[in-house]
Structure 1
Amino acid sequence: MPNRPAPLPTPRLPMTPVLSWASVARGRGARVPSILDAGPARLVTSGRIAIALALREMGIGPGDVVLVPAWHSLSMIPPVLWRGATPLFYKLGMDAAVDLDDVAAKLDARVKAIMVTHYFGVPQDIARIRAFCDAHGLLLLEDCAHCFFGEHAGRPVGSFGDYAIGSSMKFFPIFEGGCLVSARHALKAPPLRSAGLGFEAKIALASLENSFAHGRLAPVKAMLWLPMKLKDLAWRTLKARRAGAGAATAALAPSSSDSSAEFEPAWLDKRSSWFSRTMLRLVSRPRIVAQRRRNYQALQRALGGLPGCRPLYPALPDGACPWLFPMLVDEPDRLAARLKDAAVPVVRFGQHQWPGVDAAVCPNSAALAHGVLAFPCHQDLLPHELASMIARIAQALQP
């Protein structure tokens, strides 16, 4: 057996977008459609909060059934349970397309709504799904958590559902953010309110600290060195005092900011931070889309022909803006371990499924949950960072 190759030296790679001077530079190109073009929007702190609000707007309640894709994020399920409803999981193809035959077989008087996910930024055949829902009296919740930008059949993503949800923190250099949109219904929920000064400061500082940690905004880091040190000292002192008094330290930001699957109803009436809402206006959207497509295609060219893996999607559709670059891998656990050793950021979306959802429910979904490894392709990867990541993935794929 050949010796395992030594990991390549590499810079620390940002998993998510990182604020930099380039983030707010004017992007070139035409205006790009997004979920925010689909209709009036509520800017909230996460996609899961938006799901809960959408289900409430739909009138989903005890005794109702909500159809959910068998390949899913764990965070999609607690909002359904919060409404007292039951999730029922439907099948997908190996390309993650909705199996409408299976959906039709599951319909009965209790089924009120279906969640449809646009995986990794590639839209489903959502016009066909919309027609199916209209024919069966089914409410459609369009899950654009992976698909903030893009269009289908000449319309923005999010405009086909009765309601649509998005996750802005997957596409912008921010620490929290989601949205609820409806192209078909007025949003009835009461106005959102701020989560307070602590939350506002936490989000702005966390976004800046992420930037500093990856070598961006060096002059700003130098100017804020002392205030940041004083902030760290004050926070450590506060936590120590509370711990000594036996009191819990209240969270200043939702757990979704730290990739937890937890659902926190306390955030249902909170609006996204001022910092995040400002970034939605200032950050160049044409740059986001163009650079993500460019990075995705670079990954596809470099890795698409290597043994033991294949891109989940043979080609990136025109107009699609990817969240990540997903590959279907023959030996995912082995490769994931190698990538961890090589410090390559990787996402295994849906690896952990809701209890009871396994290959017996949907063999394709189980295969995707186990076999898909996804890599960052966001707009803030620098050329040398992208090249380094490609080299390390290629090396990890060697026998």
Structure 2
Amino acid sequence: MLPGIIDAHNHPYYADDIEAFSVAAAAGGVTTLIPFAGRQWHGAGPSSLTETVAEFVANGQARSCLDFGAHVIVSPGDDMATAVPELIGQGIASFKAFTAFPGNRMLDDGQIFDLMYLLGRSGALAMVHCENGHAAVALERRLREAGRVGAGDYGRSRPSLAESEAVYRALSLAELAGCDAYIVHVSAAESLDVIRGFRDRPGPARYAETCTHYLLLTEEDQQRLGGLAKISPPIRGAADRAAIWDAVRDGTIDVVASDASGQTRAGKKPQETNFFEVPFGLPGVEHMLPLVVHGGLYEHAVGLTTLARVFCERPADIFGLGHRKGRLIPGHDGDLVVYDPFPAWTVGQQPLHGNSDYSVFDGRQVFGRPVLTVQRGRTVLHDGAVVAEPGQGEFLPAGPAAGEVAR
């Protein structure tokens, strides 16, 4: 028995909305979601950041099967000075900045520092997608010009150094601004070295997250899977994967999350021969818990206590939900997972929940799966069937501990 699983990084977009995504998450033993809310890359939507978040929360309250919080993506053009304090007052306490994707999501260093300065004085948390966006664009341009546009070339456009440089820069800005910082989806061993270095010095809190695909796949899988597994940062080598498992074991990694979105085979442009034209993102929330538990218990000497820390305790504490989620103790919400470690099964042999129609882990042999989950005393998953209904999830305003958790 584990506390309810929290997926602290996900994107219920593309083919999945919050209803479909929450069903897929519930099928995998998750009881709480913390998705990202922000203005979409393309298409019409609310004109302001506060309106975007209000629409997201209202939609979740009406349609989510699971309890949910929200992170907010801050994009160029958003009115940080007005929107951020207002959103903090509404229970949002984590805000994401991108150092990648110039011309779309990327904030410059001055904007990131201003955001961190504001968050640091409000007790909120800065989340940062760390890749050097300008370097990635320049490297991609050179690869395109040389006709190197296959899956095996993609990683060269976003190398480990482009990530670790941005991690150093983000943590430096956070220290200067006096703001707690959370590095999302760490994929590279070099980035872990940077994070450990900053933790050896005084300053604000520095948190680190990784994701299922960085724990279980390597760049050989990327080439085999092609566009179905295109993600940013890229899936890296076996040495990086081993270093990330070590970081889960020693506590450098605080949180394991899915970074899943509702991608489909058709949405990943299967006929596209230029890998750089394939959309980013992959599904995976449904298989996150059993795959990582299998990898931890049977392959990497990571026990259930550690897995409860990265899936339950740390995400609850870091994101201001520790007063009601993350632990099986009196006074909490009564979220729990009953996990059977023995059933043998193969990914891809059972129908998927939600609207995604593939898994990058198809064919993988797994021991163990969740058999019962409970959320606030109400059964969510029973014998593999999701019994929660749309609208049963509650919005979870972040409590005062967000971004202020002692390590």
Range of TM-score over shorter length: under 0.3
The TM-score with structure 2 as length reference comes to 0.27
> Which structure dedicates a bigger proportion of its chain to strand?
2
Larger radius of gyration: 1
